[in-house]
Structure 1
Amino acid sequence: MAATVTSPTVSALVDPALHADGDPHELWRWMREFAPVHRHEAGELPAFWSLTRYEDIRAVYRDPATYSSARGVLLRPARLGDDPGGGLTLALSDPPRHKQLRSLMADWFSTRSVRALEDTVRDATRRVLARAVERGVCDFVQDIAGPLSLSVICGIIGVPGRDHDTVYRWCEEAFAAHTSLAAHPQLMEYLMELLYARMAEPADDLLSSLVNGTVHGELLPEHEILLNCENLIGATENGRLALIGGMLAFLQHPGQWRRLAADRALLPGTVEEILRHTSSATHSMRTATRPHTLRGRRIEEGDRVVLWLPSANRDEAVFNDPYRFDIARRPNRHIALASGEHFCIGSTLARAEMRILFSELLDSGCSVEQAGPVTRVRSIAVNGPAALPVRLTPKRRMP
C-alpha cells in the first residue's frame, strides 16, 4: 500500500475513474482515521454522508428503523430523484414488507435448495470450463464467470435453458451501458411474457412463487414481480465479480492457490476471504428516517447515508493485516454480503458457486495463467475486473 494520504481529495470517491484506474483504498484508509463520517455536498449527485468504518456500517445495516432502504440503495444523479423501485423490491423495502417479500423467495435460496442445485451448478461449471480449455485463451469474465452466474439464477427464476444465452447478452448490454436491467426493453418484454405464461400455467420455479404469493394478503402487481426478477438477475453482477476477483487474487498470489490445492479443508475459509478481499459491492445507501448524531456529526431526517463496504472489510480495527489475501484468515467477520434484515438472500448460492468453481478448477488439473492486461469496471456501485484474459492449459498426459 502507498503511504497514508495527507491531503486527500475526498470528492474523488464518487469518480468512477478512481475505482477503475486508481486506489480508492488509499482514500478510504485516510477517511477511516480522520473522517469516518464525512458529508459530501450536492453536485451531480445529491448531498450524502460517507461511512467508512466497519462498526458504523454494520450498525446501519442492523437498524432499518433509522436507516431506510425504501428510497433507494444506490447513489443516483440528483436529477433522477429517488429510485422508482422504492418500496417495491426486496432490496428497496423496509420491514415489515421486506420480510414478507423475502418469505416468497427464501425457500429457493435455502441451504436445502442450494444443495439440491449443486449437481446442476457443477455440470454448468464443467461445461464452461471445457469450452474455455478448448479456446486456450479466454476472458474469465465473459466466458466463465458471467455465463455461469447468470445461468444459475435464470434456472431458479424459471428461464428455460435455451434462452439463457440470450438473457445473458441482454444483461451484458445493460451492464456495459451502466443502466438498469429494467431499462432494457427486450429483457423486460421477455420477462413479461414469461410472467404471463406462469399465470396461465404455474411451474416449479421462483417466478411462479412470486406470481401466486401474497404480501399483506394481496397478490403482487405485475410490475412488482418484474422488478423483483430484474433485481435478482441484476444481483448476479456482484456474484460474478466475486468469482472473477477471486481468480485474479489467486493469479496475483499463486502461493495461496498452491496452499488450497494442498489442503482442500481450507476451501470454506477461502470463499469467505475472497468475499472480504473483493467486496464487489462498492457501496450501499440508506436514508435517515429521524435526526440523530453519529460520531459527533448531526444527520437529519431525509439525509442519504452511504456505506462503503470495501472500506469496512479493510478496517484495521477489525481485521489483522487487512490488505493481505489470506485464505486461512481467522476470524473473518466480513460484511461483503451485508448484515441484518438485508443480508444477501443469495449468500448460500454465491458461496456454493464459488466453492464449486474453484474445486472444479483444481480437480481439472488445468494451469491458469493471466494472458493479458486486466481492465476494471468503471463504477462506484460495483468493482472488480471487467476483463480478465486467462489461458487454461489442460494437464498433460504422461506417455
Structure 2
Amino acid sequence: MTATVVSPEHLLSPEHLLTRIADPDLHAGGDPHALWRWMREFSPVHRHEAGELPAFWSLTTYEDIRDVYRDPAGFSSARGVLLRPARLGDDPGGGLTLALSDPPRHKELRSLMADWFSTRAVRGLEDSIRTAARTAVARAVEEGVCDFVHVAGRFSHSVICGIIGIPERDHEDVYRWCEEAFAAHTSLAAHPQLMEYFMELLYDRMAEPADDLVSALVNGTVHGELLSEHEVLLNCENLIGATENGRLALIGGMLAFLRHPGQWHRLRQDRALLPGAVEEIVRWTSSATHSMRTATRPRVIRGERVEAGDRVVLWLPSANRDEAVFEDPYRFDIARRPNRHIALASGEHFCIGSTLARAEMRALFAELLDATDLIEQAGPHTLVRSNAVNGPASLPVRLTSHQPVTRRS
C-alpha cells in the first residue's frame, strides 16, 4: 500500500504561516497567495516582531498599498526598499539611487534618466526591440528545446544594455555576470567583473561622452553637483537589476499561457488583445513580490498605529489579487477590463521603465505568435527562491516553427 504524502505546508494554519511570510521557501514552494488572501480578510495590517529580520508591518490590500505609494513624504524609500537581515542595517545605497531616494532628490535623479524611457524614446527603439525579439525567438526555435528563462533574459538584457551604452559585443559577458549574481542572490555591485566593467565604461564616457544613459549620468547634475562615481555605478546597477523584474514577468507570462492555452489561442486569433494581455501578464505575475517603506511620522492604518521609523512592507501580488478591486482576481483573463493593477508601483516611484517593459512584452509575444506554430512545456518548471521577486527560475519549452530556420555558422 502506497502512503499518501501530505505537504507540511498544508497542515499549517494561516496564523502560523504569518511567521514565515518573508521565508523564501514559502514563496518558492508554498502558497503565499493563500496566506495573503487570509490576511486581506482577517489581518490586512499586521505587525511582525523582530527576529533575523527587523520588525515590520505587512500591508496586503490594494487600497492601503496604493495610499502608501502615493505618500512619499510619509513613507520614505531612503532607508531601503527591500527587507534585509537586521544585522546588515539600512541599505547602503539609501539616498543615492533612483529607487532609494525621496523627493526632491528623487525627482532630480529621475529627470536625468527620464528622456531615455519616455514614450517618444521607446517609440524610437521599437525597431531595435523587434530585432532583439526576432533574434531571441529564432535562437530558441533553432535550439528546439530551450529554457525560456534565457530567451527572455537575453532579450530584455540586450535592450537595456543598448540604452545604458554597453556595446553589443559585450552584451553576453554582462548577461553572464548578472546571471551569476542573480543565481547567488547577491547584489550586482558585489560582482567584481561587472563593477570593473562599469568603472571602465564610466571613465570612457567621462573622457568621451556618447548618446547613452551612462553619459547622461556622468555629466548630469543633481542640486547643481555632478554625481559621484559611486552614485553613477549604483544607479547603473539599479537599472540593470531592475531588468530582473521585467524578465520574470516575461517568463511568468509564458508560464501563464502554457497553463491557460485557451488564452494563447484567443490572442493568436485576435492580435488586438495584445496590449490588454500585457497588462494582465503584469498583474498576474506581479514579479516584484514586495517593496518596503519607512514611516516618517506616526500613522493609523485600519486602526493599527504605525510609529515613525517603523518599516512597512507592501506585498504587491496580494494587492493585485484584491477581491475588492478585481473581479474574479484568480482568473487569468487577457481581456480583463478594467485592470488598474499596481505591479509597477504608483505615485512618485512609478516604474520609470514601465513604457519600455510593455513594449518589450508586446514585441516578444508578437514574435512568438508570428514565428511559432506550437509552444509546449518540455519539463517541470522551478520557481525563484526569493521574497523580493517571484517567477520561474527555469521553464523548459519546445518551440515548433512553420518557418525554416537558418542555422548560424
TM-score by length of 1: 0.97
Q: Which amino acid in the other structure matches residue 283 of structure 1?
A: H
The equivalent residue for 1:140 is 148
The equivalent residue for 1:291 is 298
Cα offset, 1:9, TM superposition: 2.1
The equivalent residue for 1:78 is 86
1:339 has 2:364 as partner? no
The equivalent residue for 2:355 is 348
Cα offset, 1:4, TM superposition: 12
- Does the residue aligned with 1:204 lie in a helix, a strand or coil? coil
Taking the aligned partners of 2:19 and 2:283, their CA distance within structure 1 comes to 25
TM-score by length of 2: 0.95
1:11 has 2:19 as partner? yes
The equivalent residue for 2:7 is none
The equivalent residue for 1:20 is 28
State whether residues 133 and 367 of structure 2, in contact with CA within 8 Å, keep that contact through their aligned partners in structure 1: yes
The equivalent residue for 1:113 is 121
Q: Which amino acid in the other structure matches residue 303 of structure 2?
A: G
Taking the aligned partners of 1:7 and 1:382, their CA distance within structure 2 comes to 23
In the alignment of these two chains, the number of paired residues is 395
Q: Which amino acid in the other structure matches residue 202 of structure 2?
A: L
Cα offset, 1:326, TM superposition: 0.2
- Does the residue aligned with 1:305 lie in a helix, a strand or coil? strand
- Does the residue aligned with 2:216 lie in a helix, a strand or coil? helix
State whether residues 41 and 47 of structure 1, in contact with CA within 8 Å, keep that contact through their aligned partners in structure 2: yes
1:394 has 2:395 as partner? no
1:308 has 2:303 as partner? no
Cα offset, 1:128, TM superposition: 1.2
State whether residues 372 and 399 of structure 2, in contact with CA within 8 Å, keep that contact through their aligned partners in structure 1: no
- Does the residue aligned with 1:287 lie in a helix, a strand or coil? strand
1:43 has 2:51 as partner? yes
The equivalent residue for 1:194 is 201
Q: Which amino acid in the other structure matches residue 180 of structure 1?
A: S
Taking the aligned partners of 1:6 and 1:351, their CA distance within structure 2 comes to 35
Deviations 1:125-148 (A, max 9, x none): 111111111111000002x10001
Deviations 1:249-300 (A, max 9, x none): 0000000001011111111110000000000000000000011211111111
The equivalent residue for 1:328 is 335
- Does the residue aligned with 2:109 lie in a helix, a strand or coil? helix
Taking the aligned partners of 1:241 and 1:263, their CA distance within structure 2 comes to 25
1:263 has 2:270 as partner? yes
Cα offset, 1:396, TM superposition: 6.7
Cα offset, 1:6, TM superposition: 5.8
Q: Which amino acid in the other structure matches residue 12 of structure 1?
A: R
The equivalent residue for 2:162 is 155
1:234 has 2:234 as partner? no
1:29 has 2:37 as partner? yes
Q: Which amino acid in the other structure matches residue 218 of structure 2?
A: V
1:126 has 2:134 as partner? yes
Taking the aligned partners of 1:7 and 1:288, their CA distance within structure 2 comes to 25
Taking the aligned partners of 1:194 and 1:7, their CA distance within structure 2 comes to 50
The equivalent residue for 1:224 is 231
State whether residues 14 and 35 of structure 2, in contact with CA within 8 Å, keep that contact through their aligned partners in structure 1: no
Which of 61, 66, 77 aligns to 2:69? It is 61
Deviations 1:279-324 (A, max 9, x none): 0000000000011211111111100000000000000000000000
Cα 1:6–1:75 shift into 2, 3 Å: closer
Same amino acid, percent of matched pairs: 81
RMSD: 1.3
Taking the aligned partners of 1:281 and 1:225, their CA distance within structure 2 comes to 24
Q: Which amino acid in the other structure matches residue 78 of structure 1?
A: A
1:102 has 2:114 as partner? no
Taking the aligned partners of 1:269 and 1:8, their CA distance within structure 2 comes to 38
Cα offset, 1:366, TM superposition: 3.1
Cα 1:10–1:4 shift into 2, 3 Å: closer
- Does the residue aligned with 2:80 lie in a helix, a strand or coil? coil
The equivalent residue for 1:371 is 378
Taking the aligned partners of 2:55 and 2:14, their CA distance within structure 1 comes to 24
Taking the aligned partners of 1:228 and 1:212, their CA distance within structure 2 comes to 14
**Which has the larger displacement, 6-15 or 98-107?**
6-15
Taking the aligned partners of 1:114 and 1:287, their CA distance within structure 2 comes to 33
Deviations 1:89-146 (A, max 9, x none): 000000000000000000000011101111111111111111111111000002x100
Taking the aligned partners of 1:25 and 1:298, their CA distance within structure 2 comes to 26
Q: Which amino acid in the other structure matches residue 294 of structure 1?
A: I
Cα 1:287–1:7 shift into 2, 3 Å: closer
Cα offset, 1:3, TM superposition: 12
For structure 1, list consecutive stretches of 5 or more residues without a partner in the other structure. Answer: none
State whether residues 28 and 311 of structure 1, in contact with CA within 8 Å, keep that contact through their aligned partners in structure 2: yes
Deviations 1:194-232 (A, max 9, x none): 000000000000000001100001111110000000000
- Does the residue aligned with 1:57 lie in a helix, a strand or coil? helix
Cα offset, 1:173, TM superposition: 0.6
- Does the residue aligned with 1:207 lie in a helix, a strand or coil? helix
Deviations 1:144-176 (A, max 9, x none): 100011111110000000000000000001000
State whether residues 371 and 403 of structure 2, in contact with CA within 8 Å, keep that contact through their aligned partners in structure 1: no
1:251 has 2:253 as partner? no
State whether residues 5 and 26 of structure 1, in contact with CA within 8 Å, keep that contact through their aligned partners in structure 2: no
Taking the aligned partners of 1:12 and 1:219, their CA distance within structure 2 comes to 43
Taking the aligned partners of 1:128 and 1:346, their CA distance within structure 2 comes to 21
State whether residues 294 and 309 of structure 2, in contact with CA within 8 Å, keep that contact through their aligned partners in structure 1: yes
Cα 1:278–1:84 shift into 2, 3 Å: same
Taking the aligned partners of 1:121 and 1:6, their CA distance within structure 2 comes to 44
State whether residues 266 and 328 of structure 1, in contact with CA within 8 Å, keep that contact through their aligned partners in structure 2: yes
